[in-house]
Amino acid sequence: MMLNTLLPILLFAALGLAVIGAGKRFLMWRRGRPAKVDWLGGLLAMPRRYLVDLHHVVERDKYMSKTHVATAGGFVLAAGLAILVHGFGLHSRILGYALLGACVLMFVGALFVAKRRLDPPARLSKGPWMRLPKSLLMFAVSFFIATLPVAGILPEGFGGWMLAVLLAVGVAWGVSELFFGMTWGGPMKHAFAGALHLAWHRRSERFGGGRSTGLKALNLDDRTAPLGVEKPRDFTWNQLLGFDACVQCGKCEAVCPAFAAGQPLNPKKLIQDMVVGLAGGTDAKFAGSPYPGQAIGEHSGAPHLPIVNLNGKALVDAETLWSCTTCRACVEECPMMIEHVDAIVDMRRHLTLEKGATPNKGAEVLDNLIATDNPGGFAPGGRLNWAADLNLPLMSEKKSVDVLFWVGDGAFDMRNQRTLRAFVKVLKAANVDFAVLGLEERDSGDVARRLGDEATFQTLAKRNIASMSQYQFNKIVSCDPHSFHVLKNEYGELGGHYQVLHHSTYMDELISADKLNLGQHKGGSVTYHDPCYLGRYNGEYEAPRAVLKAIGIEVREMERSGFRSRCCGGGGGAPITDIPGKQRIPDMRMVDIQETGAELVAVGCPQCTAMLEGVVEPRPQIKDIAELVADVLLEAPAPAKKPVPTKPEALEVH
Amino acid sequence: MLPDNLNIITLVSIGAHPTSGRARRAEQDARAVELGLRLAGDKLQVLHAGNPADEALRAYLGMGLSELTVLEQPSHGDALPLLNSYLKDAGAQLVLTGSQAETGEGSGMLPFLLAEQLGWPLVVGLAEVEKIENGMAQVLQALPRGQRRRLKVRLPFIACVDNAAPTARQSAFGPARRGQLQACEVAVVDDSLLVDAHFQPARPRPKRLKVIKAKTGAERMKAATAKAAGGGGQVLKDVSPQAGAEAIFKLLVEEGMLR
Ligand code: SF4
Ligand code: SF4
């Protein structure tokens, strides 16, 4: 019987090619720099990561998760059984029926894949991806028919040589796409690379519900290590593997604020460009949305060639890298758990540390941070001027307190000073034992780090850690999610381990402990904007809402809120590098806000405040949660002895 | 338009940040380095007289220099004779400096004294070097209000830059760390002025109060942008050199500059 000889040949040839391809691909990834991974443990943990953690993300899109379970589950079963039945000729009826069942499951799944592809949303890639559902169907159908005789449903040799040829062609198509296409760069590559990416992920802490968002430190003492990523092979090898896992679903593209604003960034294209870089070639075959305003096919790269050419074109333009606000929306949505932000910052590091090419105000801000410890270049001695009349306790006097209030660089900004003063009012009303570092505090290093200046970040961080090490405190509280994140998640690697709270979390604690005597918010409806560095970076969505609830505010949620919150445009140094687009990110966010009909938007971040207040009026008012709480503080009525305002001298105003 | 073997040396000093006073690359000196890099690329030589261990010098290296020569001298040394002899021996053709140091005396006299001792021409407020041919340089000199004057100068000469010169490129950590600070041992000459003079904090120069009498926005705009009306001046055009010189001489005598 012809099929009985042909099918094993086809199957094993395809498998053989797949193994060769896998080896080649593996060597491509290994061109990257070494990374410490748990080889065996990772592999063992992989099925769980695939079935639980990855599924958890895919599950947000019910249609796709069901489709994927059916197709992928059906395929894995069918492939395994087909190898047994047709490859090794184990013609048992039970196996035959099982294989038929698997083929049906896969077929149904593939039908839904095909349905999605009828009118695919813009975020999906076309090209070879349009072929994939056909290949899936072909695989399922061919093996279904070829297995019917095994199950005893059709007689052996049914259909004669005509059907046998047809089936052979169908099987050949199916296994080409699904077996060796997997390792030779076809759309199915995502399954192979994805599985290994999950096994040797650079942030294995993310699995099992964990969170890992702090950037990883460069070892500046190692003079031989590259300062960031210049060429694709400067990535660690498991980063390259991660890029290869991309399934081009475009979930990242759909949520990227920079892409929506028409800035030249598309996280999906960026990851695909990295794949081009690791394998070598041009981006001409990319079949998805381009970087806004840039044509496809003009960029190319190779593992050993620089990614960015400052005087021309290479793999990626510098503006693409500088458009990112590091909002992490892409990482949050990515079903393959790819780390876009790490990659972007790695490449920025090279541009800043080696090339001195931080665009626009970047160089000035970094110089200021180096010379004055604040991005604005203000005299460092003025760091506490905002509180000149508040009589703030200083750490240098108190030495030991419960709460260290981390003020942040908002101290130099008149708008943010209102927030800071409001929060001090709350702290005092709750009789909190707190103090500030005063002039011993420096910029947390957040902006420097995200602009790629790891050296300045580490200097600032180490000096801050040294300041704090002189004192005793139980926790740090900050009104700035960026400082909060850096202190909490990024100082640890440099030796600073603290319990850090955002002021909304702390106020929530104070309220729960009945330390605050609060009235009710008067005034119109309110919505709440989740700061990226509080929400996605640190998972704090509840406390701000609880605080607002406690003062009688029912939040009118925006469509994009919580982990789907849209960035205000203020993170990652984006306002400093200021890459032009078609519209501004804060304007888009303000539209989200206005859609709720709220008259006021509660915020919890000085950057968000600044960005949203920068939107032209009329628009809702912007208030920090601390201001809202301070506004409704009920104090024991103070003796009403207001000084009579002295009559101002007549001034001649010209 | 530049000869390949042009020998350009930029002199740099240690700066101080205006608000924090922390040591940094001096703003104008960095612009002089920038100009030098644009003219000579990696053949530019950069020279400092002082302490070769001063980390602030690395900020200049971070602009992409592979090395920086330091004529080693203590802080009370006089840089002038050292620079003078070094420049003579080095065969410099164009020496670039800032206009005024941000630390130390900061008198702004160094380029003048150096030019005097070397007997070279000095161009102040250099904004751009347009071309250098046959031992002559054609340069643009910055004048107030964005005006430029084209000058032809014979090499070698000294030029100092002020804020009209292009902004200095960013200083990057990698090259700053890799670059070499080459210490050069030289005979130290004490600064005789420093021996009996002492430093005291500068008093801020009193600012002239600006009385704005304008009633409307348009008038305010006019007041802000108007040229300072000198009034007394006189424009001489198409006069003979003799007559021009006499007019200048007369003015200098009137103003008490010449007696
Ligand atoms: S972090 Fe935000 S801005 Fe940057 S690529 Fe991802 S979604 Fe876009
Ligand atoms: S990077 Fe992730 S979210 Fe973006 S297209 Fe690839 S798999 Fe999808």
pLDDT in tens, A315-342: 999 999 999 999 999 999 999 999 999 9
Q: pLDDT, tens digit, for every residue of B116-144?
A: 999 999 999 999 999 999 899 999 999 98
The answer to whether residues B70 and B52 touch, using CB atoms and an 8 Å cutoff, is yes
Neighbour tally for A62: CB within 10 Å:
9
Q: What is the mean pLDDT of residues B43-69?
A: 95
Q: Given an 8 Å threshold on Cβ–Cβ distance, is B20 in contact with A371?
A: yes
Task: Answer yes or no: is pLDDT of A644 > 80.
Answer: no
The Cα–Cα gap between A559 and A565 comes to: 8
Domain B8-194, CATH: 3.40.50.620
Statement: residue A647 has pLDDT above 60: no
Q: Cβ A377–B19 below 8 Å, yes or no?
A: yes
Distance from CA of A62 to the nearest CA of B (A): 48
pLDDT grade for B231, boundaries at 50, 70 and 90? low
User: pLDDT confidence of B230, banded at 50, 70, 90?
Assistant: low
In angstroms, the CA A345 to CA A571 distance is 13
Contacts of residues A217-224 at CB distance under 8 Å and 24 or more positions apart, as own/partner, are A217/A454, A217/A458, A217/A490, A217/A493, A217/A494, A218/A349, A218/A454, A220/A454, A220/A455, A220/A458, A223/B177
List C-alpha distances in Å: A595 to A560, A589, A592: 11, 10, 5
Which residues in B lie closer than 8 A to residue A366 (C-beta atoms)? 170
Q: Report residue A406's pLDDT band, with 50, 70 and 90 as the boundaries.
A: very high
- Single-letter residue type at B208: R
pLDDT above 60 for A367: yes
**Ligand 1 centroid from CA A267, angstroms:** 7
Q: Which residue ranges have their beta carbon within 6 Å of ligand 2?
A: A 246-252, 267-268, 271, 333-336, 338
Q: Among A270, A271, A273, A331, which residue has the most ligand 2 atoms within 8 Å of its CB, making it the best to mutate?
A: A271
pLDDT at residue number B229: 59
Q: What angle do CA B177, B180, B181 make, to 5 degrees?
A: 110
Mean pLDDT for the stretch of residues A48-69: 92
Return d(Cα A43, Cα A172) in angstroms, integer.
Answer: 30
CB pairs below 8 Å between A and B: how many? Answer: 59
Q: Which of A285, A274, A294, A284 is nearest to A231 (CA)?
A: A274
Q: Which residues, other chains included, contact A169 with Cβ-Cβ below 8 Å and sequence gap of 6+?
A: none
pLDDT at B1: 57
Which residue from A255, A256, A342 has its CB within 8 A of the most atoms of ligand 1, so it is best to mutate?
A: A256
Q: What are phi and psi of B77, to 5 degrees?
A: -75, 160
Where would I find the beta strands (DSSP E) of A524-628?
526-528, 600-603, 621-624
Tell whether the model's pLDDT for residue A157 goes beyond 80: no
> At B232, is the pLDDT very low, low, confident or very high (cuts 50, 70, 90)?
low
Interface of A with B in 205-234 (CB under 8 A): 223, 227
Interface residue A356 vs chain B (CB under 8 A): yes
- In degrees, rounded to 5, the angle at the alpha carbon of residue A166 between the alpha carbons of residues A161 and A172 is 120
Which position has the higher pLDDT, A551 or A645? A551
Q: Which of A185, A89, A182 is nearest to A136 (CA)?
A: A182
- Most B CBs within 10 Å, among A224, A322, A365, A367, to test the B interface: A367
Check residue A602 and give its pLDDT: 97
**Which stretches of A200-303 are DSSP H helices?**
237-244, 251-255, 257-260, 267-279
Res. A128: pLDDT tops 70: yes
What is the mean predicted confidence (pLDDT) over B82-87? 93
Given the structure tokens 């407020």, which residue do they identify?
A: B125
Q: Looking at the predicted structure, is the pLDDT value of residue A532 above 60? A: yes
Nearest neighbour of A227 by CB, restricted to B64, B173, B214: B173
What is the separation of C-alpha B239 from the centre of its chain, rounded to a whole number of angstroms? Answer: 33
Q: For the residues B14-18, what does the mean pLDDT come to?
A: 94
Q: How many Cβ atoms sit within 10 Å of the Cβ of residue A643?
A: 5
- pLDDT of A642 higher than 60: no
What's the one-letter identity of residue B141?
Q
Region A403-420: mean pLDDT is 95
Q: What are the chain A neighbours of B22 within 8 Å (beta carbons)?
A: 370-372
- Whole-number Å distance between alpha carbons of A405 and A626: 13
Q: What is the pLDDT of residue A507?
A: 97
Q: What residue type is assigned to position A587 of the chain?
A: D
* Domain layout of chain A by residue ranges: 2-199, 230-353, 366-631
The first and second tokens of residue A365, run together, are 């801000």
Q: pLDDT digits over A92-109, tens only?
A: 899 999 999 999 999 999
Ligand 2 centroid to A24 CA: how many Å?
23
SS3 A349: helix
Share of chain A above pLDDT 90, in %: 88
SS3 annotation, A30-69: CCCECCCCCHHHHHHHHHHHHHHHHHHHHCCCHHHHHHHH
The pLDDT assigned to A349 comes to 97
Residues with CB under 6 A from ligand 1: A 255-258, 265, 267, 324-330, 340-341, 567
**pLDDT at residue number A652:** 47
Place of tokens 């665009």: A359
Cis ω before A306 (30° cut-off from 0): no
**Percent of chain A's residues with pLDDT above 70:** 97
Q: Which of A251, A273, A289 to mutate to test the pocket of ligand 2 (most atoms within 8 A of CB)?
A: A251
pLDDT (average), residues A585-597: 96
pLDDT bucket at A421, cuts 50 / 70 / 90: very high
Distance from chain centroid for Cα B182 = 23
Quick check: A646 pLDDT over 60? Answer: no
Q: Which of A156, A157, A171 has its CA nearest to residue A82?
A: A171
Chain B residue with the nearest C-alpha to that of A354? B174
CB A380 within 8 A of CB A438: no
Given a cut of 60, whether residue A41 has pLDDT beyond it is yes
A597 torsion bin: left (phi>0), alpha (psi -120 to 50), beta (else): left
Residue B64 clears pLDDT 90, i.e. is over it: yes
Best of A229, A322, A349, A354 to substitute, by most chain B Cβ atoms within 10 angstroms, is A354
A249 vs A632: CA distance, rounded Å:
47
pLDDT for A279-290, tens place per residue? 999 999 999 999
Percentage of residues in chain B with pLDDT exceeding 90?
Answer: 61
Q: Is the pLDDT of residue A227 over 90?
A: yes
**Average pLDDT for A456-472:** 97
Work out the pLDDT band at A638, boundaries 50, 70, 90.
Answer: very low
What was the pLDDT predicted at B206? 82
Structure tokens at B233: 């001046």
Q: Is the pLDDT of residue A1 over 80?
A: no
Say how far apart CA B216 and CA B219 lie, in whole Å.
5
Q: Contact, A376 vs A412, CB < 8 A? A: yes
Q: What is the 3-state secondary structure (H, E, C) of A325-344?
A: CCCCHHHHHCCCCCCHHHHH
Phi, psi of B99 (to 5 degrees): -85, -30
Number of helices (H), then strands (E), belonging to chain B: the values are 8, 12
Q: How confident is the model at residue A639 (pLDDT cuts 50, 70, 90)?
A: very low
Which numbered atom of ligand 1 lies nearest the CA of A255?
7
* pLDDT higher at B251 or A469: A469
Q: What is the per-residue pLDDT for A640? A: 47
Query: B42 Cβ partners below 8 Å, 6+ apart?
Result: B64, B65, B66
Joined tokens for residue A406: 């981390």
Q: What is the mean pLDDT of residues A620-627?
A: 96
Rounded to an integer, the average pLDDT of B228-236 is 69
Give, to the nearest 10 degrees, the angle between helix A189-199 and helix A2-29: 50
pLDDT in tens, B151-208: 999 999 999 999 999 999 999 999 999 999 999 888 888 888 777 888 788 788 888 7
Average pLDDT over every residue of A583-611? 96
Question: Do residues A102 and A70 lie in contact, with contact meaning Cβ atoms separated by under 8 Å?
Answer: no
Enter the tokens of residue A492: 């640890």
pLDDT score of B85 more than 50: yes
Q: Is the dihedral of CA A211, A217, A219, A221 positive or negative?
A: negative
Query: Facing residues of B132 across strands?
Result: B137
Helix axes A267-279, A340-349, angle to 10 degrees: 70
Is there a cis peptide before residue B156, judged by omega within 30 degrees of 0? Answer: yes
Structure tokens at A96: 């035959």
Q: Quick one: CA dihedral A532, A534, A535, A539, positive or negative?
A: positive
- State residue A423's pLDDT score: 97
ipTM confidence: 0.88
Please tell me the number of the ligand nearest to residue A245's CA.
Answer: 2
More confident residue, A78 or A652: A78
Say which of A223, A352, A380 has its CB closest to residue B172: A352
Which of these, A144, A260, A238, A145, lies nearest to A194 by C-alpha position? A238
pLDDT band of A196, cuts 50, 70, 90: very high
| Residue B221 reports pLDDT greater than 80 | no
Among B169, B173, B213, beta carbon nearest to A455 = B173
- What is the dihedral sign for C-alpha A325, A327, A333, A339? positive
Domain ranges of chain B: 8-194
Q: A555 near A632, Cβ under 8 Å?
A: no
Distance in angstroms (rounded) separating the CA atoms of residues A412 and A516: 28
Question: In this complex, do B172 and A353 lie within 8 Å of one another by their Cβ atoms?
Answer: yes
∠ CA A140-A145-A147, nearest 5°, is 95
Q: pLDDT by residue (tens digit) across B23-38?
A: 999 999 999 999 999 9
Over 70: is that where the pLDDT of A636 sits?
A: no
pTM score, whole prediction: 0.91
Q: Which residues of chain B lie closer than 8 angstroms to A377, CB-CB?
A: 17, 19
Mean pLDDT for chain A overall:
93
**What is A230-353's CATH number, 1.10.1060, 2.60.40, 2.40.33, 3.30.160?**
1.10.1060
- What distance in Å separates the CA atoms of residue A326 and residue A329, rounded to the nearest whole number? 8
Question: Which residue has a Cα nearest atom 7 of ligand 1?
Answer: A256
The pair phi, psi for residue A299, each rounded to 5°, is -115, 145
Q: Which ligand is nearest to the CA of A320?
A: 1
- Asked if the Cβ–Cβ distance from A356 to B19 is below 8 Å, we say no
